[in-house]
Structure 1
Amino acid sequence: MKERSVTRQQEIDTTEAQAPSEQPSTRRGFLKSGSVLSAGLAAGAGMVSTRPVRGAEPEDTEKQVVRIGVVGVGGRGSGAINDSLSINENVKLTALADLSEGKFGIVDRLKKFEGKVDVDPSKMHVGIDGYKRILDDPDVDLVFLTMPPGFRPDYLVEAVDAGKHVFAEKPTCVDPAGYRTCLFADAKAKSNKTAIVTGTQYRRQTNYVEAIKRIHEGQIGDIVGGTTRYCSNGIWFKPRPEGMTDTEYQVFNWMHYIWLSGDQITEQAVHNIDTINWIMGGPPESAYGSGGRFTRPEGSEMWDSISVDYIYPGNRMISFKCRQIPGTKGDNSNVIYGTKGIATIYGANQGATITDRDGNELWSMKGDLSAAYKQEHKDLVDSIRAGEPIVELAATAESSLTATLGRVAAYTGQDVTWDFLTNKSKLNLFPEKLDMKASRPEPKFAVPGETKLI
């Protein structure tokens, strides 16, 4: 593998020398301080901008081919590939990386995208370091980071270092250390003029956009409070194949380990939490929560229900609930109460409505989730071609940490503030040195009153 001219550690050392009062962009370094590097410092960290796409003259941007590499070719990885190839012209899938060679069969299933798939076997990378081959590949312009969430913060920084444009699935972090890393990557991407679009597709779903625009314009009056729910049935669980080490198995069965998924509230329900932050104009001031587990398999660290009261500026409360319990009634909704009316925004394709306080409908619009999934990829590629790359990582990291705030409050049984989590918390779930052949501590689920606030 070709080495980059500046190693990660050299860049950290340079950054520390330039600003000894600040911290480097590693998660371990971020634990030393709650502050985040400024965009100005990031700009001085040695980043250089590369030509965003290749294959045509600069003035003929519509004919430039954007070459895509994907890290993590599972459900969301294959979904992102299909969405991008479906909606974009002059894009080409050229490289893949995954822990399992068996995932590369997707190439045969993509034959319908004639001329948009050209993955040579030499660019199918297997193993935990496979992503590095994609980041070092000069023929990859855009990287999809669709591996388990725990890996995402560090991979994001490395992708920005490599001068790549990025699509990163949600959540972008599962702990405060990862959040600070994401903010560093966001600032560097803006300086580097490389795009980062994230998998918060509801921000591009037309009924969400219009409903929230109307809320912000005052159609329901002043926001008083609201409820948001992401309640569904069970989630997959993978039995342990013979011969897998602890670490290999946890990555294989990643949903059930908090260092990798962040639990349901962070991995899945972040969509609703992101919607609420969007509506409220930013994160909450504090969270107080509870929950538990009734149906999870032995060995899973996940809870199967969490309820949180989030307090937003102005002493406005949003009551949040998520659960994954078989046989229960599902609900995926965001209800915002105003002094003049009520806005209800449903997940998936259910649409959105605004009524007055007496229940008379004032406005409604259907939803189209499939179009939103595709639109985020079109917006990403269009921004690259226009030379105005979208960088939206900070907002998604903020929503990811809001979900983490609720999880931490529920796990510990404490009233936890945003200030504590962003500026004082030392919580860092990811192993300092990841060894796929290593053992892992015995899985242990949180118990309020016993689980400590860190």
Structure 2
Amino acid sequence: MTNQPSNPESPQPRANENRRDFLRNRVATSAIAASTLAISSSASAAETSSEESTKADSSQHIRIALVGCGGRGTGAVNDSLTINENITLVALADVDPSKCERTRRGMSNRHGDKVNVPDSKMYVGLDAYKQVLADPDVDVVLLATPPGFRPYHLSDAVDAGKHVFAEKPTCVDPAGYQVCLDAHERAVAGGTAIVTGTQYRRQSNYIDAVQKIRDGAIGDIVSATTRYCSNSIWFKNRKPGMSELEYQLYNWMHFVWLSGDQITEQAVHNIDAINWVMGSPPESAYGAGGQFTRPEGSEMWDSMSVDYVYPGNRVVSFMCRQIPNTQGDNGSVIYGTEANMHIDAMSGGSRMVDRQGKEIWSASGSIADAYKQEHKDLIDSIRAGKPIVELKQTADSSLTAVLGRLAAYTGQKVTWDFVTDKSTLDLWPKNMETEGVPPSDGCVIPGRTKLV
């Protein structure tokens, strides 16, 4: 077990002032752009991707850069290079130079002349993303650093006029959510695309299942369950000589300011699917959980259960878990008055059963294809001159995960109105640039952790 915390979820002293100043400054700088250009955003890019593909001019050469050269970032850039033609990787950025080199070597071996990253465009350090954004040779930036950085990287990318692919989640606290909403509006006004890593919205069996539900095939939605339960996840021990900041970045999954805990970093996929099905975020959340098997020093819980209440008094029972030797379960069941829809995660497919349990419809789908499709939709929308902007929907889903986390961490019922309008929670370290970060106090304890 870890040491008892003082309160890792409490707001940093800079939260109120800096968040408001940040948003005020961003709104002011975008006023001119907003008055000259208004472009409709996409509520669900899957609905428009085919049309955009037919209009896209494939002769337009697109130059992309990756910020965050870990496994997910490298996977994202590989998907983009695989599915898109006339595209070149021109820059890489990470705090670890060896990751940049590994990504350049791996992508060069796979994609040959689609990769042209000179040493001068291998940017290193916490500010490396700024060098990418300042690079006139970059058209599209792929953001795949630890999620705590995402809102601010997104906002700066919009300021720089770059098109963006942003991995999920897009925020880990209410302060970051507000930054995302502002960035979404400015991207729409400025004509820059933002596609996010919510691949299920582009997976055929998910699209077909949601359309069936929209068409009334299961009747009225009564309730739902969604699970993201697995065995374990990686943990990295501190290397000799590492500063506290270096260690937390190295082992980022286990620090809430960086990952948002499992519910935000990983289970947001299933939460996003439920928001999509329900047509909105929930109205409230009430939850529980704890830490039983994590390594010493991890802030993450390994089990969390949340009841979300959606408009119409529809309750969604959510659970996520990472405990060794337990039974896995990953997917959602939507219960209707006429039938039930089972939507399995990964490539498990979808199936509809009647009230007696007889299968009456099914569809298959490939998650590998969906991973690639999100990058094709992004590039096609840019080439068609109709950039997709879907940041708000992913920010809503990310904050839905945060809502559940706050309910479980504090033991309180928490409302959507509270997290969007009243919460002052800002997990971003106060003086990271000059002082680094303080050591962790360990995982939070319900009843001791205050709702802010």
Quick check: 1:149 aligned with 2:167? no
Which runs of no fewer than 5 residues in structure 1 stay unpaired? 1-25, 50-58
Q: Which residue of 2 aligns with 1:290?
A: 288
Q: Give the Å deviation of 1:436.
A: 7.4
Quick check: 1:72 aligned with 2:68? yes
Q: Which residue of 2 aligns with 1:106?
A: 103
Give SS of 2:110's match: coil
Give SS of 1:403's match: helix
Q: Which residue of 2 aligns with 1:84?
A: 80
Amino acid at match of 1:109: G
Q: Which residue of 1 aligns with 2:44?
A: none
- In the TM superposition, what whole-angstrom CA distance separates every residue of 1:236-276 from its partner, at most 9, and x where no partner exists? 00000011111111011000000000000000000000000
Maintained 8 Å contact 1:229/1:334: yes
Maintained 8 Å contact 2:226/2:330: yes
Give SS of 1:61's match: coil
1-structure distance, mates of 2:203, 2:385: 24
Q: Which residue of 2 aligns with 1:129?
A: 127
Quick check: 1:387 aligned with 2:385? yes
Q: Give the Å deviation of 1:367.
A: 2.0
Q: Which residue of 2 aligns with 1:200?
A: 198
**TM alignment of 1:165-244, pairs within 5 A:** 165-244=163-242
Maintained 8 Å contact 1:153/1:172: yes
| Structure 1 range deviating more: 222-231 or 112-121 | 112-121
Amino acid at match of 2:125: G
2-structure distance, mates of 1:345, 1:42: 43
Q: If the length of structure 1 is used for normalisation, what is the TM-score?
A: 0.89
2-structure distance, mates of 1:407, 1:453: 11
Q: Which residue of 2 aligns with 1:314?
A: 312
Count of residue pairs the alignment pairs up: 419
As a proportion of its length, which structure holds more helix? 2
**TM alignment of 1:361-440, pairs within 5 A:** 361-435=359-433, 438-440=436-438
Distance 1:42 1:282, change over 3 A: farther
Give SS of 1:113's match: helix
- After superposition, the CA RMSD in angstroms is 2.2
Maintained 8 Å contact 1:270/1:400: yes
Give SS of 1:326's match: coil
1-structure distance, mates of 2:402, 2:322: 17
Maintained 8 Å contact 2:289/2:305: yes
Quick check: 1:61 aligned with 2:57? yes
Q: Give the Å deviation of 1:434.
A: 2.0
Maintained 8 Å contact 1:71/1:143: yes
**TM alignment of 1:329-340, pairs within 5 A:** 329-340=327-338
Distance 1:133 1:28, change over 3 A: farther
Amino acid at match of 1:139: D
Distance 1:358 1:28, change over 3 A: same
Q: Give the Å deviation of 1:29.
A: 4.7
Q: If the length of structure 2 is used for normalisation, what is the TM-score?
A: 0.89
Give SS of 1:227's match: strand
Q: Which residue of 2 aligns with 1:44?
A: 31
Distance 1:320 1:60, change over 3 A: closer
Q: Which residue of 1 aligns with 2:114?
A: 116
Give SS of 1:67's match: strand
Amino acid at match of 2:337: T
Q: Which runs of 4+ in 1 moved over 3 A?
A: 26-33, 39-43, 45-49
2-structure distance, mates of 1:312, 1:440: 38
Q: Which residue of 2 aligns with 1:97?
A: 93
Amino acid at match of 2:311: P
Maintained 8 Å contact 1:95/1:140: yes
Maintained 8 Å contact 1:270/1:399: yes
Which runs of no fewer than 5 residues in structure 2 stay unpaired? 1-13, 38-54
Q: Which residue of 2 aligns with 1:161?
A: 159
Q: Which residue of 1 aligns with 2:10?
A: none
2-structure distance, mates of 1:179, 1:433: 21
2-structure distance, mates of 1:191, 1:351: 37
Maintained 8 Å contact 1:171/1:270: yes
Maintained 8 Å contact 1:220/1:340: yes
Maintained 8 Å contact 2:27/2:182: no
Distance 1:413 1:60, change over 3 A: closer
Maintained 8 Å contact 1:306/1:321: yes
2-structure distance, mates of 1:444, 1:365: 44
**TM alignment of 1:443-454, pairs within 5 A:** 443-454=441-452
Alignment partner of 1:139 out of 137, 140, 144: 137
- In the TM superposition, what whole-angstrom CA distance separates every residue of 1:172-224 from its partner, at most 9, and x where no partner exists? 00000000000000000000100000000000000000000000110000000
Larger relative contact order (CA 8 Å, sep ≥ 6): 2
2-structure distance, mates of 1:162, 1:390: 17
Q: Give the Å deviation of 1:362.
A: 1.4
Maintained 8 Å contact 1:67/1:142: yes
Q: Name the % identity.
A: 59
Give SS of 1:394's match: helix
Give SS of 1:76's match: helix
